[in-house]
Amino acid sequence: MASSGKSELVVLANRLPVRKVDTGPSGDQWATSPGGLVSALAPILRERGGSWVGWPGDTGEAPKPFTHDGIRNVPVGLTSGELEAFYYGFCNRTIWPLFHDAVRPPEFHRRWWWPYVEMNSRFASAAAKRLSEDGTAWVHDYQLMLAPQMIRMKKPGARIGFFLHIPWPPEELFAQIPWRRQIVEGLLAADVVGFQTKLAAINFARAARRLTEATGSDSELRYRGRKVLVRAFPISIDTERYEQLAESETVLERVLSLREMLGPERRVILGVDRLDYTKGIDVRLRSFEELLSRGTVSASNTVFVQVAVPSREQVDEYTHERESIERVVGRINGAFTEPGRVPVHYLYRSLPVEELVAYYLLADVLMVTPYRDGMNLVAKEYVASRRDGSGVLVLSEFAGAANELRGSLLVNPHDIDGMAQALEAALHLPKAEVGKRMSALRRVVRRHSVFNWADAFLKAVAA
C-alpha cells in the first residue's frame, strides 16, 4: 500500500473475491471464493497492497471496506431494483446473449441501460478513490465495459487494463446494440483491451474503427492521441492445483466409490457446466440419445453423468433451458433405463472441487459442447486432472479453448449427427491415439497456467 493509503493496483470485477458466510456479534464473516481468477490475482494483490472493488452478493447497503486474507475489499452496493435492471437485465439479457452469437435473442431496453451506466460509475468512483495517480486499474468483464473511461476521467495518469471473459461478437451482431458507440468508447479509454481469442480482438478492433474515430491495426489502435493495445490473452487454470488434487487420497478414494456405484464395467461420459443455454448441454445429451437409439451403446455398458450448477435462475431463459434439459434427461432415462442401470445421471447442483476432480478422473470422455464460449475452463481442468494421459476431450469448435486444445476431437454443436459420430469415435479411439492426444493437450495446459496469464496481462498494461 502506498503511503497515501492508495493502492498501486485496483481490480474491479462484478463480484468481490469473498462471500459472506455468517453475520455474528463480531460482524460479517467472509470466506475467499473458489476459482482461478481469485487464486491468480490474490498473491499479486497481497504483494502489491492492492484493492478489489466488487459487489458483495447481497442487495442493500454495502458493508464498509475491509481486509480479508491480506486483500483490501471495497464493496459496492446494489439495490434489488438495480440488481434486476443492471445485472439480470442489461448484463444477462442484453449483453450475454448478444455476445454469444445471439443464441437467444438479446433484449434492448432503455430502462436497463441507465442502471448499467449508473453501476459502472459507482464501481469506477470506488476504484478511483483507492487508486494512486499513476496506479493500475484492472477491469474485468462485460458488467463493467464503461468503467475504463470513467476511471480515466478521474485518473488521467493511471494505467488501465480491461479483460473480457466472454466472446466479442462479429461486427454485424454488435452493431445491433443501441449503445454500441458508448460501449466501445468506454473500452478505448483503457491502455490494453484483452480478449480470450484473436478473433474476439479482431472483432473489437473492427467495431472500434467503424463506430469511433479510432484508427490503426487489429492489434493496436490510436484513439484520441493514445495508443490502445488490443490482444488475446487466453485465460487458464491453476494447473498444479488440479494435478495435486488428482493424486490426493480423498479424491482417489472418491473415484473408487463412485466407480463402484456407477458400475465398474461401464464407460463414463461426463459433462460439467454452469446451467446456461450457451453451453450446449441439451445437444450433447441428444447425441448420446442418438447412440442409444442406434444400439451403439447401452445403459449397461455406458453412463452419461451431467453435472449442472444452478445459475441465473431469475432469468426466464435459464428456467426454460433447465426444463428443456430435464425433459431430455427424462426422455432418455424413460426409454433406455435397464434394471439397475440408468443411462443419464443428472446432478443439478454445485460440487466441491474434490468431487469434481473425482468425476474428471472417472470420465473416459468429457463433452464440452458450447454454442459459443469465451474460453471454457472445464476443458482445461479435465486435462490437468488426467495425469495418466488417458481420457478423450470432445470440444466445440466455438469454445475459445478450441484454439489451444488441438488434441481434442472438435465438433460443431449444431450438427447432431457429427456430434454422435465424434462421441462414438471418442469411445472407440485406440489407446495409443488417446495417449497421443492427451499428452498434446497436457503440454498446453501445463505450459500455460492462470498465473502466466495474469502476469502477461499486467506486463502488457505496464509496458
Point out which residues bind ligand ADQ (CB under 6 A): 165-166, 235, 272-274, 307, 309, 350-351, 356, 373-378, 381
Residue 155 region, left (φ>0) first, then alpha (ψ -120 to 50), else beta?
Answer: beta
Q: What DSSP string describes 371-402? A: SSBS--HHHHHHHHH-TTS--EEEEETTBGGG
Query: Which one, 125 or 350, has the nearer CB to ligand ADQ?
Result: 350
Minimum Å distance from CB 461 to ligand ADQ? 17
Query: Which one, 173 or 309, has the nearer CB to ligand ADQ?
Result: 309
Query: Which one, 111 or 349, has the nearer CB to ligand ADQ?
Result: 349
Residues with Cβ within 8 Å of 104's Cβ and at least 6 positions away in sequence, in order, are: 97, 277, 317
Query: Which one, 188 or 356, has the nearer CB to ligand ADQ?
Result: 356
For residue 79 the three cell numbers come to 439495490
Minimum Å distance from CB 103 to ligand ADQ? 13
Task: Estimate the share of the chain in helix, then strand, then coil, as percent rounded to the nearest 5.
Answer: 45, 25, 30
Minimum Å distance from CB 27 to ligand ADQ? 29
Q: Answer yes or no: are the C-beta atoms of 269 and 304 closer than 8 Å.
A: yes
Minimum Å distance from CB 370 to ligand ADQ? 8
CA dist 370 to 108, 121, 142, 382, 441, Å? Answer: 24, 33, 19, 16, 19
Minimum Å distance from CB 150 to ligand ADQ? 23
The cell 495518469 sits on which residue? 157
Minimum Å distance from CB 39 to ligand ADQ? 11
Q: Which amino acid is at 460?
A: A
For residue 167 the three cell numbers come to 466472446
Query: Which one, 161 or 374, has the nearer CB to ligand ADQ?
Result: 374
For residue 91 the three cell numbers come to 448484463
Q: Answer yes or no: are the C-beta atoms of 230 and 205 closer than 8 Å.
A: yes
Query: Which one, 271 or 343, has the nearer CB to ligand ADQ?
Result: 271
Rounded distance between C-alpha atoms, residue 174 and residue 201, angstroms: 13
Minimum Å distance from CB 235 to ligand ADQ? 4
Minimum Å distance from CB 384 to ligand ADQ? 11
* Three-state SS at 160: strand
Query: Which one, 160 or 307, has the nearer CB to ligand ADQ?
Result: 307
* Three-state SS at 131: strand
CA dist 179 to 81, 87, 211, 321, 322, Å? Answer: 21, 17, 11, 28, 31
Query: Which one, 214 or 367, has the nearer CB to ligand ADQ?
Result: 367
Query: Which one, 281 or 426, has the nearer CB to ligand ADQ?
Result: 281
CA 352 to chain centroid, in Å, comes to 17
List helix spans (H) across 189-238.
198-211
Query: Which one, 309 or 416, has the nearer CB to ligand ADQ?
Result: 309
β-strands 18-24, 27-32 pairing? antiparallel
Minimum Å distance from CB 274 to ligand ADQ? 5
Distance from first CA to last CA of the chain, Å, rounded? 21
Q: Which amino acid is at 394?
A: V
Minimum Å distance from CB 270 to ligand ADQ? 11
Query: Which helix (H) or strand (E) is 249 found in, with range?
Result: helix 249-262
